Amino acid sequence: MIIRRLIAFVLVAIALPGESFGVDCGYNFRETSAYCSGAPEAANEIAVLGNNPNDLYPQTDFNSPAECDVSYGWEDIYSDMPRNRSATYCPNAAGNNQQPNDGDASPAKFRVDLTGDLCIELGMTDATYSRPVQYFEIRDGTTVLSTCNDTDGTTSTGSDSSVTDANCNNHTTIANWQSNQTAYCDTFSSYVSIRIGNNSSGDSTLAHVRIYSNTPSSKPFSVLNAMGEL
């Protein structure tokens, strides 16, 4: 039994970096971390504070939990990106990182070095400003897996807003999105990449991303077998 458990430990130790064995990581986009000091991130979440230069890829400060300790960040530089909006919705819709819908003139891609069978939840919204178009792509590395071009955009009342989720569903309020959003699930072999912005008008505004494993067990088959659990 001791030998079998030792083998299991070794298998876990040499698992590929970023493999999604039981991963559940949240990324909340705004301008300053302290803006949500009254309702801070959970243990498995981190604030992403734009891309010039606060959170350019690769960031490595997501140290706990261990499964989230992979490189992440914006791969592109855009100088007018982060916004604080409403502390009412801390931490996952309090602000956003925004990108002009100007095509390839200034692309914005948020990268997380996780692989495997993953589900992605996200929210495109701006609590205080209406946005005519919300556009994003979910990618495996450079391969586009899913595209959302929400030409209805998101509508703000000044204190609340509709939200576009990971499957391009539009929710009438932030609270409705928090309770009823749906996840996009797929297999990622390179890394998770979310591009925002297209060639239309206004800005696409990313408020929140959650990435979690879409597997019945957080342990690979070989580890379960070595531990005598199969």
pLDDT of amino acid 52: 73
d(CA 169, CA 97): 20
pLDDT at 133: 97
Q: Nearest CA to 177 among 167, 165, 159, 194? A: 165
Both tokens assigned to 112: 């997380």
Output the pTM of the full model: 0.85
Separation between Cα atoms, residue 92 and residue 178, nearest integer Å: 9
- The residue among 210, 85, 98 whose CA lies nearest residue 160 is 85
Which residue positions in the chain have pLDDT lower than 70? 1-21, 79, 216-230
Joined tokens for residue 15: 């698992």
pLDDT value at position 62?
A: 85
